[in-house]
Amino acid sequence: MKLGARAGAHLAGASALLALAVWLSSGTMAPYASTFYRPIVSAPCQYLYNVDHPLHEAAFWMLDGQPPERWQSSIVLRRILFPLVAYPFMKVAGFEIGGFIASLLCHLAALAALAIDLRRRHGEDAAVAGVWLLAVYPGITYWAALPYANAAIVPASIALYVLLSGLEQEAGLRATALRCLGMGLLFTAYDLAPFFGLAALLLLLRRRRFAQLPLAAACMAAGPVVTGLLLKLAFHVAWTNRNTAIYGIVAAAYLHPPALGIWARSLWDFPLVAVANFFYSNLLFLPALFLAIVAVTRRALTLQEGTLLVAGAALFLFNNLAPPYAARWQMRGFFIPRLYQPLFVGLLIYVARALGERRSLSPFKAHLLVALSVLTFAANATVAFGPVARLAWAGPVYQRFYPHSGVQTMDDNLAEYGRRPLGFCGKR
């Protein structure tokens, strides 16, 4: 489906803005690196990389046929889809630059896919609103400039949501199988199955398509299972590692709970944790806009929006209501709001849909929706462009998304290494 001249012009403008935001979040200013207290500093340009840089580079070495000792110990090899897509670019331009190019192209493609899907389902105004809100979404700029599997989170979530929407509209076995196979392929990009896989099964249950549940589950599992088998049989990579074992540890905690009083005391801060994770999982402003528009319009969620949010809530409850357990990394509390980032697509589409249908509201409410959305766009832009614009609150907002260092760490690192995107080499 074509976008039309108006929506196409907005898409072009939003694409240019997104590309600029990603580029100005690269080099020393990549938030995933600069918010860490001890980033890897490259030579000779002194760009900053996250401490997990070698783990992600290992996927490139594996695909490149390098000796196993260079890559076999990596814990992220199963997240193979982005390395596969990026490999030709990395081979030509190097791991870092090639990965940046591939990531940027993936995000621009996702922006276009969102625009097309919104226009087809909810109209041109919804598409226009959606692309501009996505263009400055800080959940893109946090990851996108670094050549890691994390760069696939936003594009894959958008593609999965499009497939989930198609699954809701077409009921045939063949259509269900094809969409679920596509979802399974995208599950090899990142750990998105708990969100979109569960949402797909809930959607089929709600539509009473019970006979399709085994087919859907098998097709969605195909991608991860085949990937695991190939890694095990062809590359001798272990089935599990410390990154994948944590969910087993959480599940085991439920099977061997402590005394009820100890368990209850571990949940004293659960309401605060729930609020913090909801807001900071998508960097504050988009969740706030979502709640405001729900309050103003009382608009019901679509089935795909609802099942995605229910799946995210189920994962949050599983992680945060678990009895205490001993592990280096805890999947509970204030530490890891970023885990629930894939919910952004449901929030964003709800907001875009409400904006596209605002003319059915009273003039006051319609203008209020536009004003709130413009304020959200501006607030997100201050975070996305915060590193280069020297805005003091950008670092703390990013840090609460993934609090792995102090709230001033980004500013401290940028003061030491300068504010230089890719292409500007040398210390300030």
Report DSSP state, residue 300. P
Kindly report, residue by residue over 85-115, the tens digit of the pLDDT: 999 999 999 999 999 999 999 999 999 999 9
The number of beta carbons lying within 10 Å of the beta carbon of residue 11 is: 24
pLDDT at residue 408 above 70? yes
Helical packing angle, 285-297 and 270-280, nearest 10°: 100
Report the b/e string of 395-413 with b at 16+ CB within 10 A. bbbbbbbbbbbebebbbeb
Read off the pLDDT band of 427 (50, 70, 90): low
**In a 10 Å sphere around its CB, with 0-12 CB exposed, 13-18 middle and 19+ buried, how is residue 364 labelled?**
exposed
Question: What's the rounded Cα separation, in Å, for the pair 428 and 415?
Answer: 9
pLDDT at 330: 87
pLDDT at residue 428 above 60? no
Read off the pLDDT band of 5 (50, 70, 90): confident
What is the percent of the chain with per-residue pLDDT over 70, rounded to a whole number?
A: 99
Mean pLDDT score, 75-81: 94
Dig out the tokens for 58 from the structure. Answer: 């290992």
Mean pLDDT score, 413-418: 95
Kindly report, residue by residue over 196-252, the tens digit of the pLDDT: 999 999 999 999 999 999 999 999 999 999 999 999 998 988 888 777 788 889 999
Name the nearest CA neighbour of 312 among 336, 346, 285, 280.
346
Q: Which of 41-55, 71-85, 194-208, 226-240 has the lowest mean pLDDT?
A: 226-240
pLDDT at 1: 60
pLDDT at 118: 96
Alpha helices, DSSP H only, in 70-94? 81-93
pLDDT at residue 284 above 80? yes
pLDDT at 247: 86
Kindly report, residue by residue over 348-403, the tens digit of the pLDDT: 999 999 999 999 999 999 999 999 999 999 999 999 999 999 999 999 999 999 99
Amino acid at 375: L
pLDDT at 170: 79
The model's pTM: 0.96
H/E stretch holding 94 reads none
What average pLDDT does the chain have? 95
Kindly report, residue by residue over 294-351, the tens digit of the pLDDT: 999 999 999 999 999 999 999 999 999 999 998 888 899 998 999 999 999 999 999 9
